[in-house]
Amino acid sequence: MTNSIAIALAVARKDLTAEWRTRELVPALAQFVVLALIIANFGFQIDARNAPSIAPGVLWMALVFAGLVAFGRAFAAEREQASLEAMLMTPASPVAIFAGKALAATLLLIGCEAVLLPALALFFGTPLSAAIVSAVLLATIGMAALGCLFSAMVARIRARELLLPLLTLPLWIPFIVAGGQAVQVAMGATGNYDQALALLVDFDILFVVLTSLAARFVLDE
Amino acid sequence: MNRYEKGAAAAVGLMALAAGAIFLFAPTDALQGPVQRIFYLHVSSAIAAYGCFAVVLLGGIIYLRNGSLAADRLARAGALVGLVFTTVTLVMGMLWAKPIWGTFWAWDARLTSTLVLWIIYAGYLLVRRLAEPGRQAARFAAVVGIFGFIDVPIVHFSVTWWRTQHPGPIIVNDALPGEMLATFLFTMACTLALATAMIAIRYRIETLADGPVPAVAEKATAVTTGQREPVK
């Protein structure tokens, strides 16, 4: 068990080191989400009155598509250099390798959120509260587990750019439902914030457990 | 006529009988008028679709456990037939919603989760098409099928807590008059028979599409790779 955790951390550190040395993904994602905000501004004609009702939707749209890009890249380097096969040949358990990849992808997406949330508050004038940050972070955990599972899957499939959104987005909807509700309430809509947050925690637990059960079948292929 | 043709003919005959019951036997709804007759096939095909996706789930779990090719073919057949019935449910529901709700679509739990269901299994079929045929496609699709089946009730319940428009269950609440209930139960039985016949035929097509797998080769592969699924 401790061995598996050490392997997962080593894999995550490897990915984060690679990202730190190239500095490709997080800056690209940051630009991507700022562009999403610009497009939303022109699409919605945002002003001080309608911003609180539109901002949650813009936040989740930008986050979901940034997440697709981030998780789509999670296995790109491994695929290009066929290093996943090498990692799987080691005695390390596939679940530990998967957990490491998922952890690194989660941290990279959080790096992107660290740009998205302040930019949203800056450009849309919405609050940047702990309530919003915790809802987004909780959703990120489960979304990352699912996103990495399907990213590992499509890495072996043709037309992977097409397939990743089709497989991932429907399974992310529970997180968007609960996370969307939480952020709407945090930005002033009526509703039950605690219930939405509790749901997010439930979904996180469920999908993290399920993806770790399924990871073996996807990675081993 | 082979047994598949006979099965298909019997299923079509049963559906014609169900249509007779829906249009001739069942009384016209006092409030909604004739459009309420959509109810019988709408709910029946939804139940048939759930049944088909349960087949996909079971087939996927069995395949992941022991690599049974039959389970995988059954899952493939179930996904396609289930997608057809989901389409029927959605289209008939929209046709019913327009005169009664005044709109084709409302974002409520039932409608949203059914649409998500449709998209998930359309993705399932796409995985089957794009992944390398054989072991890879079967394994990936099994994972998609399992996650899909779990996701749909979650979407359903998470949306329920905030908005609903679609009526709740009326069969179990004993809200239907006797003749309507009888028509509904008959239509449901016929629709389930149709779904079974479609899955059986599709299973046969998948078997033929897989090509002959000589028993000896299968055993030899199992010995060399330590797995029971033949590698293509």
Can you give the residue ranges of every domain in chain A? 2-219
B5 located within any domain = no
Instruction: Determine whether the interchain pair B155/A177 forms a contact, defined as Cβ–Cβ distance below 8 Å.
Output: yes
Q: How far apart are the first and last CA of chain B?
A: 33
Its ipTM equals 0.88
B8 located within any domain = no
Reported as type and span, the H/E element at residue A214 is helix A193-219
Instruction: Determine whether the interchain pair A221/B162 forms a contact, defined as Cβ–Cβ distance below 8 Å.
Output: no
- The reply to whether A131 touches chain B by the CB within 8 Å rule is no
B2 located within any domain = no
Surface of B (153-192) touching A: CB under 8 A: 154-155, 158-159, 161-162
Instruction: Determine whether the interchain pair A181/B162 forms a contact, defined as Cβ–Cβ distance below 8 Å.
Output: yes
Using CA atoms, how far apart are residues B14 and A51, in angstroms rounded to an integer? 56
What is the domain range of residue B49?
Answer: 14-23+34-225
B105 located within any domain = yes
CB neighbourhood size of B131 (10 A): 23
In this structure, are residues A177 and B159 in contact, taking their beta carbons and an 8 Å threshold? Answer: yes
Taking CA atoms, what residue in B is nearest to A157?
Answer: B131
Measured between CB atoms, which of B64, B126, B135 is closest to A163? B126
Closest by alpha carbon to B147, among B120, B169, B173, B122?
Answer: B120
**What is the number of structural domains in chain B?**
1
Using CA atoms, how far apart are residues A152 and A100, in angstroms rounded to an integer? 12
Measured between CB atoms, which of A157, A170, A174 is closest to B119? A170
Using CA atoms, how far apart are residues B200 and B179, in angstroms rounded to an integer? 32
Using CA atoms, how far apart are residues A13 and A15, in angstroms rounded to an integer? 5
Closest by alpha carbon to B197, among B207, B186, B189?
Answer: B189
Predicted local confidence at residue B223, as pLDDT: 43
φ, ψ of residue B167 in degrees (nearest 5): -65, 150
B9 located within any domain = no
User: What pLDDT tens digit does each residue of chain A (221 aa) get?
Assistant: 678 899 999 989 998 998 899 888 889 999 999 999 999 988 988 888 888 889 999 999 999 999 999 898 888 878 888 888 888 888 888 899 999 999 999 999 999 999 999 999 999 988 899 999 999 999 999 999 999 999 998 888 878 888 899 999 999 999 999 999 999 999 988 888 999 999 999 999 999 999 999 998 888 76
Is the overall model pTM greater than 0.90, yes or no? no
CB neighbourhood size of B13 (10 A): 12
Give residue B154's region: left, alpha or beta (phi > 0; psi -120 to 50): alpha
Type of residue at A25: L
